[in-house]
């Protein structure tokens, strides 16, 4: 089983060979503008296809636990703000608990899933104003969404030095930083404005919501401390 990412569902030959202007509009840039991680996933899918091995591609959308939505927000959340450069774009984040559960189901009984690709999202497609209400419910205080400009946000919030200190590997830090910057641009241009019922079908129950993920993120209330009076 190959844990891939949702972008692979639209990194098709048709889209990738379209005229340059269309590619920039749809994909947020050309192939060289995609992150090393996204290109590596694309190559992995192709190699597995060519190998003839029995494989399953699990393409998940943005995690509810993604840095954009969790630890990068700790500073702003201290001030009751959700600061993201996504305008009115919508997301349907997937809880990693659900991804883990569905992956185990496939590994236990892989036969029905061999040679298939699944595009998985969470159950709710909402904009950041809607998610601000989820943060407020999880933290027990008011949270207001403050839209930011994309490149300014990337510059302010994606700190490669911090990533290097946290990961202990400069190459890994550059890899993660490049991926996060590309994700920011893709979300801001609507590439994650998608909703699928495949996860619910595979789980046999409704997927967990973003609010559930926030309320069950044990570190979020601890770190996003409200300012003292």
Q: pLDDT (tens digit, 9 = 90+) per residue, 108-132?
A: 999 999 999 999 999 999 999 999 9
CATH number of the domain encompassing residue 141: 3.40.50.720
228 in any annotated domain:
no
Tens of pLDDT along 133-165? 999 999 999 999 999 999 999 999 888 777 777
Q: What does DSSP assign to residue 201?
A: H
Extract the tokens encoding 214.
């926030």
Residue 5's pLDDT is what? 79
| Any domain includes 229 | no
Which domain, by its residues, includes 62?
A: 2-223
Phi/psi of residue 47, nearest 5 degrees: -60, -40
The residue to which tokens 């290109």 are assigned: 39
Count how many domains the chain has.
Answer: 1
Task: State yes or no: pLDDT of 36 exceeds 80.
Answer: no
Q: What is the structure's pLDDT at 19?
A: 82
Report CA dihedral (15, 38, 99, 194) to the nearest 10 degrees.
-30
Whether 25 is in a domain gets the answer yes
What is the total residue count of the chain?
229
Q: Note whether residue 42 is domain-resident.
A: yes
In the chain, the percentage of residues whose pLDDT exceeds 90 is: 51
Reduced to 3 states, what is the DSSP secondary structure of residue 81?
A: strand
In a domain, 33, yes or no: yes
Which of the four pLDDT bands, split at 50, 70 and 90, describes residue 33? low
Instruction: Determine contact, residues 189/150, Cβ cutoff 8 Å.
Output: no
How far apart, in whole angstroms, are the C-alpha atoms of residue 229 and residue 179?
Answer: 38
What is the pLDDT, as a whole number, of residue 229?
47
How confident is the model at residue 29, as a pLDDT? Answer: 58
Q: Which sign, positive or negative, has the C-alpha torsion 10, 149, 126, 128?
A: positive
pLDDT, tens only, 58-108: 999 999 999 899 988 888 999 999 999 999 999 999 999 999 999 999 999
* Average pLDDT score over the chain: 86
63 is a domain residue: yes
User: How far apart are the C-alpha atoms of 132 and 34, rounded to whole Å?
Assistant: 29
pLDDT higher at 128 or 177: 128
Give 139-142's long-range contacts (Cβ < 8 A, gap of 24+).
Answer: 139/77, 139/220, 139/221, 139/224, 139/226, 140/221, 141/80, 141/226, 142/80
């Amino acid at each position: 089983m190959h844990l891939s990412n949702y972008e692979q569902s639209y990194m098709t030959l048709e889209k990738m060979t379209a005229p340059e202007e269309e590619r920039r509009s749809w994909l947020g840039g050309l192939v060289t503008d995609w992150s090393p991680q996204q290109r590596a996933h694309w190559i992995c899918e192709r190699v597995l296809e060519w190998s003839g091995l029995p494989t399953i591609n699990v393409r998940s959308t943005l995690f509810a636990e993604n840095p954009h939505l969790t630890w990068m927000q700790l500073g702003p959340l201290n001030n009751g703000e959700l600061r993201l450069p996504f305008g009115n774009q919508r997301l349907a984040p997937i809880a990693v608990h659900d991804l883990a559960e569905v992956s185990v189901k496939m590994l236990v009984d892989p036969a029905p899933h061999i040679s298939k690709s699944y595009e998985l999202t969470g159950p709710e497609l909402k904009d950041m104003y809607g998610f601000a209400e989820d943060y407020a419910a999880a933290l027990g205080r008011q949270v207001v969404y403050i839209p930011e400009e994309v490149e300014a946000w990337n510059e302010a919030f994606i700190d490669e030095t911090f990533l290097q200190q946290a990961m202990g590997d400069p190459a890994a830090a550059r890899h993660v930083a490049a991926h996060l910057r590309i994700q920011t641009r893709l979300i801001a241009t609507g590439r994650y404005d998608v909703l699928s019922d495949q996860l619910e079908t595979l789980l046999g129950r409704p997927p967990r919501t973003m609010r559930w993920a926030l309320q069950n993120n044990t570190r979020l209330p601890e770190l996003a401390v409200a300012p003292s009076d």
